């Protein structure tokens, strides 16, 4: 009698890389060759919102530069602990839009599924840094209420997978979820909002490409890159692999003071994205989340920079400058908001 042997499953490379992300300030400082005194590091800020950075992202930080634009996005600093008027834990009123467990329904025709609270990197300006994921994110045990809601509303043609970051889920879980969405006839488009191709390019693996290229759904991946320095060769290769899987690639960036609030930097980002097959989609004005006020760029400055981009770039490389305001049925062009105020 021949006994059946269990198939040994190897942990994917990207999961090893995510598990070994840097979580220690001392380890980070040693790698970037800087001291805590040079950087205004706050242990209180780190305790409030933990440090997490994959090595693939750290590798793109310039050693010895306390003003490096990538370092400033992930470093817990004292400014985060200041209480600022009009800065909230839920700045875009996500909790008001909960339609089912893990499902947000803000805009006509599309819903957003909070697949997980996990992320490969903790960006200090994250608008969901205080979000109560244990109560509100969906997972494989809680997808049923969200799926039932989507089935019953035939106006929903697009499902957005978000989080956290949906690509922190393994491909078995993701492919099963996508298959369930494919079984809903009126759902035509799958959109993934993810930072992993930029911060952990190993995530774009064969298993992911297999299920995403076979899906009957139109697949759109919206990445999140704020600075051309993030677009390393390994990131570009990962994005090109997604393109080969018939995925439409868009980018959304956040306008951040001291990081990309400069027309040259924004121009470089658009060119670098396009070279990788990604169209600039949105340039977001910062969501006013508690702990992120030091990243704020004034509306006047934001509109000026956007106008300069329009002078420098062809229209298809100019991202839409928008702000998300609670209660509105779409994201709002910032220029229109400022015109209304006048």
CATH of the domain at 317: 3.20.20.70
Please check whether residues 107 and 154 belong to one and the same domain: yes
Same domain, 51 and 168: no
Helical packing angle, 143-152 and 171-182, nearest 10°? 20
Tell me which residue of 16, 130, 124, 27 sits closest to 70, measured CA to CA. 124
**75 and 130 within one domain:** no
User: In angstroms, what CA-CA distances link 53 with 290, 293, 341?
Assistant: 21, 21, 40
In a domain, 1, yes or no: no
Of the chain, the end-to-end C-alpha distance in Å amounts to 84
Residue 6 pLDDT: 53
Distance CA 85, CA 286 (A): 15
| Helices marked H in 20-70 | 25-32, 36-39, 43-48, 55-58
Distance (Å, rounded) from C-alpha 71 to C-alpha 73? 5
In a domain? residue 33: yes
72 and 136 co-located in one domain: no
Q: Are residues 57 and 153 in the same domain?
A: no
Query: For residue 319, is it left (φ>0), alpha (ψ between -120 and 50) or beta?
Result: beta
Report the alpha-carbon angle 92-96-101, nearest 5.
Answer: 115
pLDDT at 297: 98
196 shares a domain with 152: yes
Q: What is the pLDDT of residue 136?
A: 81
6 in a domain, yes or no? no
Q: Which helix (H) or strand (E) holds 105?
A: none
Mean pLDDT split into 10-residue runs, the chain, 342 residues = 56 94 96 92 94 97 97 96 94 94 95 96 96 80 91 98 96 96 98 98 97 97 98 97 94 98 98 97 97 97 97 97 90 72 49
Sheet of 332-333, strand order: 98-100, 103-104, 110-114, 158-162, 189-194, 218-223, 248-254, 279-284, 320-323, 332-333
Joined together, the tokens standing for residue 23 give 């979580």
Our count of domains for the chain comes to 2
Query: Among candidates 59, 75, 50, which has minimal Cα distance to 17?
Result: 59
Q: What are phi and psi of 202, to 5 degrees?
A: -60, -20
Residue 342's pLDDT is 46
Residue that the structure tokens 């875009």 belong to: 92
Query: Looking at the structure, do residues 38 and 156 belong to the same domain, yes or no?
Result: no
In a domain, 284, yes or no: yes
Cβ–Cβ < 8 Å for 83, 289: no
Residue 5: HSE in the Cβ half-sphere, 13 Å Cα cutoff: 3
Give domain status of residue 5, yes or no. no
Q: CA–CA separation, 320 vs 170, rounded Å?
A: 32
pTM above 0.85, yes or no: yes
Shared domain check, 257 and 115: yes
Same domain, 175 and 218: yes
Question: Distance of CA 156 to CAs 146, 148, 185, 218, 331, Å?
Answer: 12, 12, 10, 14, 18
Q: Are residues 101 and 51 in the same domain?
A: no
Q: Give whole-number Cα distances, 62 to 57, 257, 332, in Å.
A: 11, 19, 35
Which token pair is 139?
Answer: 């997972």
3-state secondary structure (DSSP) of residue 305: helix
The whole-number pLDDT of residue 138 equals: 78
Where in the sequence is the domain holding 33, given as residue range(s)?
Answer: 13-81
Residue of 223, 217, 199 whose CA lies nearest to 74: 199
Shared-domain flag, residues 220 and 167: yes
Q: Does residue 4 sit within a domain?
A: no
294 is a domain residue: yes
Could you tell me if 284 and 179 lie in one domain?
A: yes
């Amino acid at each position: 009698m021949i006994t059946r042997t269990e198939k040994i499953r190897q942990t994917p490379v990207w999961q090893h890389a995510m598990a070994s992300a840097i979580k220690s300030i001392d380890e980070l400082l040693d790698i970037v060759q800087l001291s805590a005194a040079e950087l205004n590091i706050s242990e209180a800020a780190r305790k409030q919102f933990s440090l997490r950075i994959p090595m693939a992202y750290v590798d793109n930080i310039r050693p010895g530069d306390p003003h490096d634009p990538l370092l400033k996005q992930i470093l817990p600093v004292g400014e985060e602990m200041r209480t600022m008027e009009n800065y909230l834990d839920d700045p875009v009123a996500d909790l008001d839009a909960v339609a089912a467990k893990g499902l947000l329904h803000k805009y006509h025709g599309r819903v957003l599924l909070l697949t997980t609270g996990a992320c490969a990197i903790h960006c200090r300006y994250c608008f969901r840094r205080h979000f109560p994921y244990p109560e509100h994110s969906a997972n494989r045990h809680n997808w049923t209420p969200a799926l039932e809601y989507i089935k019953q509303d035939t106006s929903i043609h697009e499902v957005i997978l978000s989080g956290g970051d949906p690509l922190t889920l393994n491909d078995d879980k993701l492919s099963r979820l996508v298959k369930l969405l494919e079984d809903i006839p009126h759902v035509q488009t799958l959109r993934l909002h993810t930072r992993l191709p930029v911060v952990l390019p190993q995530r774009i693996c064969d298993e992911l490409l297999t299920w995403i290229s076979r899906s009957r759904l139109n697949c759109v991946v919206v990445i999140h890159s704020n600075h051309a320095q993030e677009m390393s060769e390994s990131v570009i290769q990962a994005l090109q692999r997604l393109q080969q899987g018939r995925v439409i690639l868009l980018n959304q960036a956040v306008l951040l003071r001291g990081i990309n609030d400069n027309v040259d930097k924004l121009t470089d980002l658009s060119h670098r994205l396009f070279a990788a097959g990604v169209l600039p989609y949105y340039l977001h004005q910062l969501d006013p989340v508690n702990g992120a006020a030091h990243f704020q760029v004034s509306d006047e400055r934001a509109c000026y920079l956007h106008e300069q981009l329009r002078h420098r770039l062809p229209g298809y490389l100019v991202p839409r400058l928008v702000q998300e305001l609670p209660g509105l049925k779409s994201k709002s062009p910032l220029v229109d908001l400022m015109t209304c105020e006048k």
